[in-house]
Chain A
């Protein structure tokens, strides 16, 4: 079952006027895009900068309203429903950003930061118990709750950002470049954590990245976006070994590996 999807979404932005009487030209950022994630599935989205990844994320999370097309969550159109169903949607879809240092308030203790989404979304219940449950899920100790963001390394901060996203008990987690700001030895830890969350909590995951190998490792279905259009969707291994479009091929060929480097043909 498709839990969260966008159907026929087109989004354009106005550009500056070229002449005094000319109409403002419009830039099409997304062009009739269909994209979705199934219940309990991990879906990936790859593309170069400027391809439309960020706009797609903003629309999928409800930060931006699509000019054409629909965002459908659990069978209902998010933007035509009432306020109550939209509140439900905001609880159920949570985001993890690229840089945890800029997405956590430096003057807020981690424990307080974790309470914040429950307060903002007016969720009742035993908040302290929920904080403890989530902090265990992401593999941090309870001592972390009393500390400030600057006391943590990048990898730990990303765990905290993931914990905060988990607080309202979401059904979909959207991770936008969650490891590209992290050190190599930490990237694997965070990718494994995301994979565990999908398996253990039955979460749906949308993983957005520019590096095909990162997405391929963590998801079971990958869409390639280029110039605002989804050009290809398939299983990661299939995309890797038999890319059908030039855009996918360019991304596959861009992946550098240690093996290719040692064999001396990495830059061919």
Chain B
């Protein structure tokens, strides 16, 4: 069996006294697809940025991130920048701010190819057109000459994906890649991402708060809350039989076809309260103030992940379906 695409051990990301990611571990096998679910402030984006070596000023990561035979934590900026786009790449949420507004999109894709492969200018341009075609962009020969502002949001995001895929990376990180898009465009972009990742055999880390997207393209999932993974395992197990009360709460609060069949007085089940701030994390299990099953033990002791197959960090896991 080949080495995992990435193996994260006890990752901690902090800035001064603030700890946003508090001991996260996961492994994505070569070609595997993991979803990282969490709300704003759960630490999911900082986890991704730590993997890319792109943490914002003032933030530092500890722990280890094994990828392609090296530990990415502790690599120099120069080493990391030679790696980004080649063995590990990222698709950001907002393509408009990630693309250079004054360069033609074809050149932007071609420059990634030229930086990391021996391809000459003509060859890189040819490959860019091929990538545009694969991303189902209309008239690829002309579109490579367009500027970002001339394109729609969906087209821009497909170009971001083309750029991320250009050098056949071992791992692609996609951070809310379709949140800024229309629902009808979202599905098309997900489908293209799905196919392109599969064809290249790349591993995928999909970061989103959207559970249906995870169910559609990932094989495993990790649910983050307040900087820790509270439940993880195969998507099938976690979504069908959630054991952490937070995961269960997220699943039942989704508006679905079943809810709308109910009458006007029906209410969506919702998780009471709100995500705690980093400055005031509750002791014990960080979810206890919002949890229906919280006990004295939850208020005092922090649970660790346990279980076989799917793992949950909970003192009183959900038992009923």
Interface residues of A, Cβ cutoff 8 Å to B: 42, 48-49, 153-156, 183-189, 191-192, 195, 199, 210-214, 216-217, 220, 236-237, 240, 250-251, 253-262, 266-267
Contact = CB atoms under 8 A, between A and B. Distances in A.
Given A48-B185, A261-B235, 19 more contacts: A49-B153, A153-B275, A183-B209, A184-B39, A184-B210, A184-B250, A189-B272, A192-B267, A195-B264, A199-B264, A214-B255, A220-B264, A256-B187, A256-B213, A260-B215, A261-B215, A266-B216, A267-B190, A267-B191
Nearest to A41: B264
A260 B194 contact: no
19 contacts: A154-B40, A155-B274, A183-B209, A195-B267, A199-B264, A199-B265, A212-B183, A217-B255, A236-B260, A253-B187, A256-B210, A257-B212, A258-B211, A258-B215, A260-B216, A261-B214, A261-B215, A267-B191, A267-B216
Contact of B39 (A183, A192, A199, A255): A183
Contacts of A259: 215, 256
B301 interface: no
Interface in B238-280: 239-240, 249-251, 253-257, 259-261, 264-265, 267-272, 274-275
Contacts of B186: 254, 256
B183, B216, B251 — which one has the most chain A CB atoms within 10 A of its CB? Answer: B183
Contacts of A210: 182-183
A237 B268 CA distance: 16
B270 A262 contact: no
Interface of B: 39-40, 153, 182-187, 190-191, 194, 209-217, 235-236, 239-240, 249-251, 253-257, 259-261, 264-265, 267-272, 274-275
A188 B240 contact: no
Contact of A258 (B153, B190, B251): B251
B260 A188 contact: no
B33 to A, nearest CB: 12
B255 A213 contact: yes
B184 A254 contact: yes
A52 to B, nearest CB: 14
A216 B255 contact: yes
Contacts of A258: 211-212, 215, 239, 251, 254, 256
Contacts of B214: 261
A153 B277 CA distance: 9
B161 to A, nearest CB: 15
Contact of B268 (A49, A154, A191, A212): A191
A86 B40 CA distance: 41
Given A153-B274, A185-B253, A258-B212, A267 B264 contact: no
A250 B188 CA distance: 12
Nearest to B254: A258
Contacts of A267: 187, 190-191, 194, 216-217
A199, A213, A256 — which one has the most chain B CB atoms within 10 A of its CB? Answer: A256
Contacts of A260: 212, 215-216
A213 B254 CA distance: 9
Given A48-B184, A250-B184, A257 B256 contact: yes
Nearest to A46: B183
A253 B39 CA distance: 26
Contacts of B239: 258, 261-262
Query: Which 8 A-B pairs rank lowest in CB-CB distance, beginning with the nearest?
Result: A261-B215, A188-B270, A266-B216, A256-B212, A188-B253, A183-B39, A261-B216, A217-B255
Contacts of A266: 212, 215-216
A215 to B, nearest CB: 9
A220 to B, nearest CB: 6
A152 to B, nearest CB: 9
A228 to B, nearest CB: 16
Nearest to B187: A254
